[in-house]
Amino acid sequence: MERYQEKYEEWCNNKIFDESTKRELELMKNNEIEKKDSFYKDLEFGTAGLRGIVGAGTNRMNRYTVGKATQGLANYIIKNNGQERGVAIAYDSRHMSTEFSELAALILNANGIKTYIFESLRPTPELSFTVRKLGCISGIIITASHNPPKYNGYKVYWEDGAQITDPIDTGIIAEVNEITDFGTIKTISKEEAIQKKLYNVIDIKMDTMYLEELKKNTLNPEEIEKAAESLRIVYTPLHGTGGRLAKRILEEQGYKNVYIVKEQEIPDGDFPTVSYPNPEDPKAFEYALNLAKEVDADIVLANDPDADRIGLHVKDNKTGKYITFNGNMIGLTIAEYLISQKKEKGILPENPALIKTIVSSNMADRICEYYGVKLFLALTGFKNIAARIRQFEKDSSYNCIMGYEESYGCLIGTHARDKDGIIACMLLCEIAAYYKNRGMTLWDAILNMYEKYGYYREGQIQVTLEGADGAEKIQEMMKTMRNNPPESLGKYKVIKIMDCYLGIEKDIITGKEEKIDLPKSNVLRYTLENDCWCAVRPSGTEPKIKFYMGVRGETLESAEKDLGELIEAMRTYTK
């Protein structure tokens, strides 16, 4: 009998599993593919916590795998004497999010750990803010971010409001892996937890404190006031958590023409109007763009379900068409405005720094060079940007004015330690107001940036390979690229190869190798001629391998052509 079949039989026969779980197990009895995928491994509690399909099985998100993760976290907190400081808990609109969040709270309470749980769904960045505001030892957010509806997830934050990193993540993972018997997970009733003052509810007062912190980052309130009557904004939360707070902050900023996509305003874990609730996907904007055309909107904004990401479409007044801004374009637009305005007003801090991930645009480097801001690299994943900020604070070296990643996420300000789609929404509206007052659109603004810094364009290829066979194929693809380094990619010679797993960057021309200041990770990055680049890495949260690339052209058209050619060259490695 294969191992997955043994685990399946164990779940079927163990009295600890409830009747609804047993019924689900019965339904997969004759489906070997589903049974194997549900039990071929334990859902790994990794550096991003848990993420998986909701359902019965060791490789699924359910009350038992969530319970195991929470008990492991509780054990780690107790060893670090963090019981009294407590844990903040938030959740999104996905299936089982409410149930998983309450389950986590009560398991922590059963271990004598205080919890502070939101009264209803809230964005991930507000959870990060709340951990810091309440002085909690940890935080939990139940969300699968932008994944399809069948997924949910469980992310853990630490006392600085950032997702856990080494050595805390390894410590928690070790505690979770120590739990081999679901019967050892402690429980308590909600009534008893409340009576013992362990279970505490967070109300809308936290929303007000959070939004007030965001508004401190407004740079030109007079520009907002001037454009408040004329700027037309369309916004959609994509059935997620962002709607109420985004709508509120834009109203408080004074905008008079904010149009919410009604079909997507109500939180709904089925995401009925989108097949993939991700602002990176142009299809997610179908309803918003239809509304934009009706009301003649200047900008169209979307948050993902947990509102840590932001998507943007911008009207081009010359053609009347709406232009998609990718994550790099969004981050670079904000960076140019933020840095230039702070410098103009004389409020740029000493030793200013901008942090970007290693798969983000090289235009960020040019912006930093122009304004005298130090640029730092981080691995993909916003927790790595947060780790840089934490190090700056520890050694009093640099002041981070912004962190951004190409996957539609950025952080402005010091209120949180994760990407924040609500503050990004707020600032993009301010930037649109600033340029509208000058007879320009955000598309005009970025065209000016291309003229100033070069025509940088970026793209990526994602290959989805699900299940056990898919995971093995992804590892083989990485092994092939690592062991057979290319001399050129497309028409560009490879100048340097950065291997984040080995921790070195090799200069191909001189043969010199240097250590890199990045954590160990299965990532390869190639520096090419003409300020171009490519990178490849397996996703840490999805069954995908991702190929990234960026070029610099002399015109927008030549950059698009060069990018297309480089993408086709990289496709040969996806087969």
Which residues are catalytically annotated? 145
**Residues contacting 5, CB < 8 A, separation 6+:** 35, 39
Q: Name residues whose C-beta falls within 8 Å of residue 171's C-beta, 6 or more positions apart in sequence.
A: 76
Q: What angle do CA 40, 46, 52 make, to 5 degrees?
A: 50
- The pair of structure tokens assigned to 62 is 């359910």
Exposure string over 490-505, b if 16+ CB within 10 A, otherwise e:
bebbbbbbbbbeebeb
Residue 376 host element (H or E): strand 374-378
DSSP letter string, 49-83: BEEEEBSSSTTSBSHHHHHHHHHHHHHHHHHTT-T
Quote the CA–CA distance of 424 and 441 in Å, as a whole number. 17
d(CA 338, CA 344): 10
Residues 6 or more apart from 215 whose CB is under 8 A from it? 249, 252, 253, 426
- The gap between the terminal CA atoms of the chain, to the nearest Å, is 33
Residues in CB range of 417: below 8 A, 6 or more apart: 128, 132, 157, 160, 161, 162, 386, 389, 390, 411
Going by C-alpha positions, the residue among 90, 92, 123 that lies closest to residue 425 is 123
Encoded tokens for 44: 């790994």
Strand partners, 461: 547
Cβ neighbours of 81 (radius 10 Å): 9
